[in-house]
Structure 1
Amino acid sequence: MDTERFDSSDLGATEEFLSRAYTPMRIGGRPNDTQTRIERTAAGGLTVDRLTFGYTMSYTANPLGQICLITVHSGSMVDTTEGRHEVYGPGETFLIAPPDRPYTGALHSARYTITMFDPTVLDTVAAAGAHAAPGPVRLTGQRALDGGANRRLGGTVAFLRDHVLTGPTVPDPLVVATATQHLAAVALSALPSTAYQEECHRIDSRDAHTDTLRRARTFIEENAHRAIGLSDIAAAAFVTPRAVQYAFSRHTDTSPLGYLRQVRLTRAHRELKTADPGTSSVTRIAARWGFPHVGRFAAAYRRLYGTTPAATLRTRG
């Protein structure tokens, strides 16, 4: 097991160390406290670093060639690669960049853990899956799929850091190899990837039955007055967003959000028919049912009912 410590307030020395330890990079910024502390532990192709930067630092880095997971403990990190502005805060574990891509960003008084391993471990783990996709495996997204996935990934990193690579003795190579494969498997399940796309499609297609459609429709009809979206509809139907989309396309001629618009248009129509034109307005009723653009609301209303919402309001029975 290899260990290394770096503690310096010299920005030039920090840039040199980071370039040697990770990938050639340039750092900059306007630091107040330039103290940098890094503690590195590596064994069997697995590297875990603890880093503390007491200042704001920007960076421009070459590709790492490694799967690099960041767990933020305090402060924040901002990914600005290719014009993005993704902010990661305490408790988040994410992929900093694909192994073959350069990246840019900044960190703000951040304390965090870096965990790195060879990308081929992903292929080894994915090959053991019953429905793995052929070819090299890629992580296709940087953020975890949901809160539970983020906690699993962060917990796995913490276990490797605090138990596998910590102790007075050199860790058993078999333990390190097994732990690295476990981390790769958790990363594949927690982050978007090409590994199990075919299996996900199969499961989503299986769940796209009429019971899913019924549950989704019921939820939409009971909650059309609320600010709901596709993820809320899918959660109420106990399936993934893609499965509920499949269910609507398979059994209807609209989408989940299309059905939500239809329900809201119907509710707005009912209200226009019973509202008092002296105290209500088309704009107010349209906004109440999720149509902030009154012109688009009027066009959709006319296509469905053959008249304008203003005419319906005026002819209140």
Structure 2
Amino acid sequence: MHSAIVGNPHALHSPLVLTQAARHLAAVTLSVFPHTTAAGPAHLAGRDAHPDTLRRAVAYLEAHADQDVTVANIAAAAHVTVRAIQLAFRRHLDTTPLGYLRRIRLHHAHADLRAADPGRGDSVAAIAARWGFAHPGRFAALYRREFGRSPSITLHSWA
């Protein structure tokens, strides 16, 4: 992720990219150095979220896709534990909460690409970075998998 940020001027100015990089650094630090943090109440970990809870979580993600969102934020918005929201997304949507958020952001990037004008200087890299995608190549691969064509084709077919 580091080289994707340093080599991409759009990513250097994207709040979503920078907070994701900081979170990644914190996760790596926690995995490398010993710590004594607890995972949370064990008796609540196996409980799955109710469909209304999942709907609240999805609504929160859709309303906050342009912001720095953590799994803890999603769980709090849905009124359940982190483990319960992770379990609910895995069981009912076959993804993770942050994977679902990435898909929402991908759809927002798609809409921005469709509305963009390359003649005004709009670029795939800038739009990708706006939605938290620091690495243009990875963004293009995700985009192609979701929409069946490259983001540059979408950008240049606006007229």
Give the structure-1-normalised TM-score. 0.38
Matched position secondary structure for 1:259: helix
Aligned position for 1:273? 114
Aligned position for 2:140? 298
* TM-superposition CA deviations, 1:20-46 (whole Å, max 9, x none): xxxxxxxxxxxxxxxxxxxxxxxxxxx
Distance 2:83 2:114 in 1: 36
Q: Which runs of 4+ in 1 moved over 2 A?
A: none
Aligned position for 2:16? none
Aligned position for 1:39? none
Structure 2: gaps (5+ residues): 1-31
1:212-251 equivalence runs, <5 A: 212-251=53-92
Q: Is the 8 A contact 2:113 2:154 kept in 1?
A: yes
Q: Does 1:308 align with 2:150?
A: yes
Aligned position for 2:36? 142
Tell me the CA shift for residue 193 of structure 1: 8.0
Structure 1: gaps (5+ residues): 1-82, 86-140, 144-191
- Aligned sequence identity (%): 50
* TM-superposition CA deviations, 1:249-272 (whole Å, max 9, x none): 221122111110110000000000
Distance 1:270 1:234 in 2: 27
Distance 1:265 1:193 in 2: 30
Change in 2 beyond 3 A, CA 1:271/1:84:
same
Among candidates 93, 100, 106, match of residue 252 of structure 1? 93
Change in 2 beyond 3 A, CA 1:193/1:291:
closer
Distance 1:268 1:275 in 2: 10
Tell me the CA shift for residue 142 of structure 1: 2.8
1:1-317 equivalence runs, <5 A: 84=33, 142-143=36-37, 192=38, 197=42, 199-202=43-46, 205-206=47-48, 208-278=49-119, 279-317=121-159
Q: Is the 8 A contact 2:45 2:81 kept in 1?
A: no
Letter matched to residue 152 of structure 2:
A
Give the root-mean-square deviation of aligned CA atoms: 2.1
Distance 2:39 2:65 in 1: 34
Distance 1:193 1:235 in 2: 15
Change in 2 beyond 3 A, CA 1:240/1:193:
closer
Of the two, which has the highest radius of gyration? 1
Larger RCO of the pair (alpha carbons < 8 Å, separation 6+) = 2
Aligned position for 1:69? none
Distance 1:253 1:219 in 2: 18
Distance 1:201 1:270 in 2: 37
Distance 2:91 2:50 in 1: 8
Q: Is the 8 A contact 2:44 2:81 kept in 1?
A: no
Distance 1:193 1:305 in 2: 37
Aligned length: 127
Larger helix share, 1 or 2: 2
Tell me the CA shift for residue 240 of structure 1: 1.0
Larger strand share, 1 or 2: 1
